[in-house]
Structure 1
Amino acid sequence: MAAPIFILLPLALLFITATSQGQKAISLTDTLTPTSKSSWLSPSGVFAFGFYQRGNGYYVGVFLPRTSNKTAVWTYGRDSSSLPSNSTLRFDGGGRLVLQSAQAQDTYVATPNDTTVTASASMLDSGNFVLYNSDQKVIWQSFDTPTDTILGGQSLPASKELHSSASVTDPSTGLFLAIMQLDGVLALYPKGTPFTGEYGYWDSKTPNNGPNVTLHLEDDGFLYLLKPQGVYLANFTSQGLPKEDMIYLARIDPDGIFRLYSYDITRNDDWSVKWDVPTDRCSPKGLCGLNGFCVNVGQDYECQCLPGFVSVEDGNRTAGCERNFTAESCKNPTVSNNMQPVPNTTWEDDTYSALTSLTKDECLEACRQDCNCEAVAYNVSQSCYKWKLPLRFGRRVPDGNSNPQLYVKVGDTRSG
């Protein structure tokens, strides 16, 4: 009898084989805990679903276990408190995935979207965590409820949003969002603002294209907007050949920039930025919090405070600024309200009173005499705009005569 022949397959081919299989069944009797068996891996081991750690607590989500900080691409209950080490994940009798801990009430992480009972579950190599019924029909998937990220093979349908995380170490909802609008525009906004041009800080410039435009990311890093019937509306990156050892993700980051990243799983190095918008780091409105303004510094940015203000929280640029003195009553005769200039900045227009045909000195005096006035913007057309605190969406702009000059009231207590 001839000896058997063994063929050694290269690593890349082994990865393709695992990927093409697409799934590895998860036992519905399995239980996960943060400190023992903490996750279910995809066939290649590139993605995992389960507990990942941030600081002293844990979160439930989909992440890349081989990356240095276990990069999370989907998180459940991101605005709840982090989970303790005695938490568990298990399936109940109806196939719903239940999160349990001694400190909180049980919650359902994954619930089938119909009355069908879950027959199986899989963590796919696409980064999608999926529940199936007995006919192998998808009845729940993490791809349907993205948090801050879409992966290769995933899309963002019309009216759906991505919300940034608070920081690299805090997955709770942050300051910015990306929305696929019903007019066919992909747009970026500060959280909590109307979806109008006044508040947006970047958009795809594709209006009036109907309510069914979708943002797509392909496995080769091709990021684009697609209209019904397969019409390409906007290509943000170019098409290429998928590489079995390369992963792509598009994410709105804590700093409000929407970036496309690539990651080579064979090198285990850092993520590489392939595309990003906007390119001006200070464009995201509200990046420096209330009463702070953003200044570009090379490829980075810094936050500065209005005169008479200091940072609310050292090391947290988005926390904003607060007065470094106790405001005295403007009716107090021992208080002289100085008006300090803040040159070359722009802010949200939150005017409560507009005066015309005033000199600069008259404008400043009008604010001094008004107990409600905390700042004024004065321009060369002799218009004077009164503002109350807090000021928001501040950023440094190029010097120009057309930019209104901001002056902030700074109390100066004097002995009478």
Structure 2
Amino acid sequence: MAHSALFGLHFLLIPLFLLATIAPSIHQSIPLGTTISAVDENSSWVSPSGEFAFGFRHLPNNDSLLLLAIWFQKIPERTVVWSANRDRPVQRESRVELVNNGYLVLYDHEGREIWKKPNAINARATSASMLNTGNLVLWSTDSSTIWESFNEPTDTILPSQTLTKPSKLSSRRSEKDYSKGQFELRLQEDGDLMLYTVPLEGEFTYSNYWSTNTAGSGSQVIFKESGYIYLAQINGTSVSLTPGNIVSTQEFYHRATLDFDGVIRQYVYPRTLDSTVGWAQSWSNVWYQPPNVCLAVFFDIGSGACGFNSYCALDENQRTTCHCPPGYSYLDPNNTFGGCKQDFVPQSCESGGSIEASQFELKEMRNVDWPLNDYERYFPINENLCRQECLMDCFCAVAVFKDDTCWKKMVPLGNGKMDYGVSRKTLVKTPRGNLTLQTAPPPTSSCREKKDRTALILIGSVLFGGSGLLNLLLLLAISMVLLYSHHQRKVRFQHAKDDLKRVERMVMVAIWCIQENPTMRPSMMKVTEMLEGVVEGGWTLLVGDDKEALQDRKVLERMVMVVIWCVQEDPSLRPSMKRVVRMMAGVVEVSAPMDPCF
């Protein structure tokens, strides 16, 4: 009887074993003509297991823009593992469609084609599937794969996924910005697996900061279904990337992601509460490389692991953090990795800087350095003389002293890092007194008058004609004073409310001057009267009670802020053209800029 019962048990287990074996290959066919609308938040293609979904996800930093993405469906975080349009997010009225001609196409809210697969001219899909592995696949007539998301990863790989030569992962820009960032993991043609820093624009590549040293032998990176990741070599051996024992993929979700701080990490997440006692219901890091990215990233060009004028450090959980030195603050408070700016007017170089030297002091820091920003070195020298040399030098932003050696550094500061293994004294130049008095002073009357004259000249230019684009640019130039007045009104000026109305009036005058109907454009005399406040001309007069038009006022303010960032006197503070486009579109938040006083 026992033997018979055991045989029966084996008989029952065989189908279960076979089912588990073939489960990853089970898929639901999505026919041609199927559409996912960004308007319907519940519209998505879900894998048979319900663990992965393909559709639209809102950007964390801008709820009006969406990614076409794949994510973990059964966890609260809905972690994104792949996206099609990371650099071109779309608006709510967009859609993705498996069109009848065999292409998977993403259309924006105006019907423009943003993304399309497959790329091959002769390849046409007959159906699609969202697999249990997290792989989105397009099938041909004979059920062969003609395109899959696993072959075009963004920043993440999953169990059963393989990277072949050449392949790469690209980090996101920041924790909440999914656009392409400054770090890449590359499996090169020579077989070496490397981590690189790259500029946000162009194709230039800085040096690598981590490598498996497998040039000439590496073949492919394999993320096994068991959860182990290794680099297969052409001689049949392998280099394990996952050290020691790893938790089961039956009880945990797994992923490996090149994070925005330049570290490649493997994460696990409990599938259920019952089977994973002692584990938090969140992503836990089980291995990462490099051990300390702050020290690993060290090049003579670029900002380093953190942005310019900041320094990199590891917190108590060995996570990368970026900090500003004394007297500096983040360019974007929502992105601490984006760099820092001076919160004070720099030392004047009149008379070599000696006149203002007494107005500045040196704030001491320990174990912090920007090692590649030296422009002058003194040896032998004592600390007091080192301090004096920096204070008297208008170019000196930081001095570092160690072992009778003094290094002077200027902004922008790059490759900043905190290293407790290096004993040195870092001296940061800041104005004397209370930090609240170190912020940039209000514009002088002559500066304000200069801006007013500029606005008048630009309005006159509009009256004499020009292209629509030129008129828009002129309008933006006139509007650049608006943000400064608005910002200062919040900070310190009692009379700034009147200034804001005056500047707003100038903007309204400019809008009247570029009306499409020439009969609606004011004469030069009326322009003068409008600027002096004799004749009213505001938003309400222009657009009535049109709520959408009134909302455009916020858009104008954002454009004004972008323009002011573009004309900052310090080139390191000016955004790249790609970032300007993203700021204009509202993809990234636009922080309040400093007054350029032009």
For the aligned pair, the TM-score class normalised by the smaller chain equals 0.7 to 0.9
State the secondary structure of the residue aligned to 1:230: coil
Kept in 2, the 8 Å contact 1:256–1:284? The answer is no
Distance change >3 Å, CA 321–CA 283, structure 1 → 2 = same
Q: 1:295 to 1:247 in 2, by over 3 A?
A: closer
Q: Secondary structure at the match of 2:90?
A: coil
What is the deviation of 1:149? 0.3
2:118 aligned to 111, 114, 119, which one? 111
Question: What residue in structure 2 maps to residue 68 of structure 1?
Answer: 76
Residue 47 of structure 1 deviates from its aligned partner by: 1.3
In 2, the alpha carbon distance for the partners of 1:245 and 1:302 equals 31
Partner of 2:35: 31
Is residue 2:243 matched to residue 1:223? no
Residue of structure 2 equivalent to 1:409:
429
Determine which structure has the larger helix proportion and give its number. Answer: 2
User: For 1:166-315, what aligned pairs fall within 5 Å after superposition?
Assistant: 166-182=173-189, 184-192=191-199, 194-196=205-207, 200=209, 202-204=210-212, 206-207=213-214, 209-210=215-216, 212-238=218-244, 243-244=249-250, 246-267=252-273, 269-280=281-292, 282-283=294-295, 285=297, 286-299=304-317, 302-315=321-334
SS at match of 1:250: strand
Q: Distance in 1 between matches of 2:338 and 2:49?
A: 40
The count of corresponding residues between Structure 1 and Structure 2 is 399
AA matched with 1:395: K
| CA distance in 2 between partners of 1:76 and 1:360 (Å) | 55
- Cα 1:361–1:67 change in 2 (3 A) is same
CA RMSD between the two structures: 3.4
Percent identical: 29
TM-score, scaled relative to structure 2: 0.59
1:152 matched to 2:159: yes
Q: Deviations over 1:217-240 (max 9, x none)?
A: 111111111112432134433577
Give CA deviations for 1:175-229 in whole Å, capped at 9, x if unaligned: 43322345544333444284435xx2x443x25x317432221111111111124
Q: Which moved more, 1:98-107 or 1:183-192?
A: 183-192
Q: How many angstroms apart in 1 are the aligned matches of 2:379 and 2:189?
A: 40
For 1:342 and 1:118, the matched residues in 2 are separated by: 61
Larger relative contact order, structure 1 or 2 (CA cutoff 8 Å, min sep 6) = 1
C-alpha separation in 1, matches of 2:246 and 2:428: 53
Question: 8 Å contact 1:220–1:239 — kept in the other structure?
Answer: no
Gaps of 5+ in 1: 1-6
Shift in alpha-carbon separation, 1:176–1:283, aligned structure 2, 3 A: farther
* In structure 1, distance between residues paired with 2:172 and 2:361: 39
Whether the 8 Å contact between 1:288 and 1:294 is mirrored in structure 2 is yes
Contact 1:151–1:249, Cα closer than 8 Å, also in 2: yes
- Change in Cα spacing, 1:227 to 1:239, as seen in structure 2 (3 Å) is farther
Structure 1: how far apart are the matches of 2:112 and 2:398? 48
Task: String of CA shifts for 1:268-318, please: whole Å, max 9, x gaps.
Answer: 942332222334475575454322223444225654322221233335321
Higher strand fraction (1 or 2): 1
**Structure 2: distance between partners of 1:69 and 1:308:** 37
Q: How far 1:389 moved relative to its partner?
A: 0.7
SS of equivalent to 2:332: coil
Whether contact under 8 Å (1:220, 1:248) holds in the other structure is: no
Match of 2:545 in 1: none
* Structure whose CA Rg is larger: 2
Contiguous gaps of at least 5 residues in structure 2? 1-10, 275-280, 298-303, 438-598
Q: Determine if contact 2:369/2:400 at 8 Å carries over to the other structure.
A: no
| Letter aligned with residue 76 of structure 1 | A
Letter aligned with residue 26 of structure 2: G
- Map 1:6-21 onto structure 2 (within 5 A): 16=20, 19-21=23-25
CA pair 153-110 structure 1, distance change in 2 beyond 3 A: same
Shift of 1:356: 3.7
